[in-house]
Structure formats: structure tokens, C-alpha cells
Amino acid sequence: MSQQSIISSVMKILDSIPSDILLVAASKTRTPEEVQAAISAGIKVIGYNYVQEAERMHQVIGNQVKWHMIGHLQRNKVKKAVKLFDMIETIDSVKLAQIVDEQCALNKKKMTVLIEINSGKESNKTGILPEDVDELILKIIDLPNLVVQGLMTMGPRFGNPEDARPYFKATKKAFDRLKNLDIPNVNIKYLSMGMSNSYKIAIEEGANIIRIGTKLFGERQCNF
């Protein structure tokens, strides 16, 4: 897709969604020129699945935008991730949270995090079950350098967008439950759900962060 086409796609989606919805440009495998085109069209946040790729792009794009980690974060990549990202959307264990907290302490940084929910209860997916999220949050709320601000879920990437609705409903139910618990040091306000094929359904179900790649940039030319 040309840079002008990317600009048009970004502007079209920004115009079509409520102003309080945060659009994260999922930039996996995209070139600096493509990402820069999206930024020029109004993208304020870019998301990466892999720390190594984000690191390369950060050298080019820098702090023009906020950076979200939207893929599974390996423990051995936390040191670099803490330096690169403004939000980690994929915390799914006490151990990972502890390592992020430790690295944040070394960098004198507080990290906003979301808890990743495996809303489909699929054994091949990362994230924790919706019914286990309260317990996880209660175990990590005393980590001084983490700021827990919500939940994230993947949902099915392909197929009928309607098939994602139960996943989003389950995550929204957990989100509302946590919000009502009013846990100290936890400000539940972000619900990150929906990708290119399902973001409209996600917004209907309460998402206020959506992560879109293909709809902005076109089909990926290579796979990571």
C-alpha cells in the first residue's frame, strides 16, 4: 500500500470511531516509511509484538508517538522492553510483573500495564482466564513501579467478526467487575480489544483501545 493510501486509511478509521477510542497502529513488519505515513495522518500510538523489531523502529521514529507492547513479552526481553515502551498490554503472570517492576526500578520508570485475558480459554493462547484476573491483580498491586490500568484480549484474528463477540463480552464482564472492586493502587480504565476484522464489534462491546494493522497498512508482505 502506498504512503498516500495509508494516510487515507488512517484518516478514514479515525473519522469513523468515537474520539475517546485510542487507535493503536499495529506496526509489525512495516517499513519506517509506512509507519511515518500513519503518524503523519494522526496516529499517536504504535504497537509492536516483538521487542527486537520495536527497537529497530524506535531508532528511526523515536518519541514522535507512544509505544505499546501488544505481543507476548518474553522474560528475557523485559530489560529492553521497559526502556522502549510506554505501556505493556500483555502482563499475564506474577513473575512477569515482578521482572517488569524490577527493571522499571533500575530505569527509575513507572510502567502502565494491562492484564492480558485469554477470553476464549484456548490452551494455545497466552493470557490468564477471566475468572483469575482478580487474584493476579491482588498479587501485583504492591509492585511500586507498575500502574495497572485495565485489560487486553486478543480474540480470534480471522473469520466472522461476530465470532469475536463472546470473547469481548467475557473480557468486558471482568473489566466491569474489577472496576467495581475499587482496588487500591489500581485504576481500571483501559479495555484493549479488537483488531482489523473485529474492532467495530469490540467498540460495541466496550473497547476503548483498538489495535489495527491490516486495515491501516494493507496485507503484510512477510510474516514474523
CATH code assigned at 35:
3.20.20.10
Alpha carbon distance 69, 47 (integer Å) = 6
Q: Does 223 map to a domain?
A: no
| CA dihedral angle for residue 57, residue 63, residue 65, residue 66, rounded to 10 degrees | 90
Query: Residue 223: what pLDDT?
Result: 47
Residue 222 lies in a domain: no
In the three-class reduction of DSSP (H, G, I as helix; E, B as strand; rest coil), residue 46 is classed as strand
Predicted pLDDT at 224: 44
Residue ranges making up the domain that contains 57: 3-217
Query: Would residue 210 be called left, alpha or beta, if left means φ above 0 and alpha means ψ between -120 and 50 degrees?
Result: beta
Number of independent structural domains in the chain: 1
Task: Kindly state whether residue 172 falls inside one of the protein's structural domains.
Answer: yes
**pLDDT for 90:** 97
pTM (2 d.p.): 0.94
CA 68 to chain centre: 6
Indicate whether 74 belongs to any domain.
yes
- In tens, the pLDDT along 91-129 reads 999 999 999 999 999 999 999 999 999 987 777 778 999
Residues of the chain with pLDDT under 50: 223-224
Cα(54)–Cα(84) distance, integer angstroms: 8
Instruction: Classify residue 224: in a domain, yes or no.
Output: no
Q: What phi-psi label fits residue 141: left (phi over 0), alpha (psi between -120 and 50 degrees) or beta? A: alpha
Three cell numbers, residue 30: 512495516
> What pLDDT is recorded for position 149?
96
Q: How far is CA 194 from CA 24, 41, 93, 205, 218, in A?
A: 10, 21, 22, 10, 17
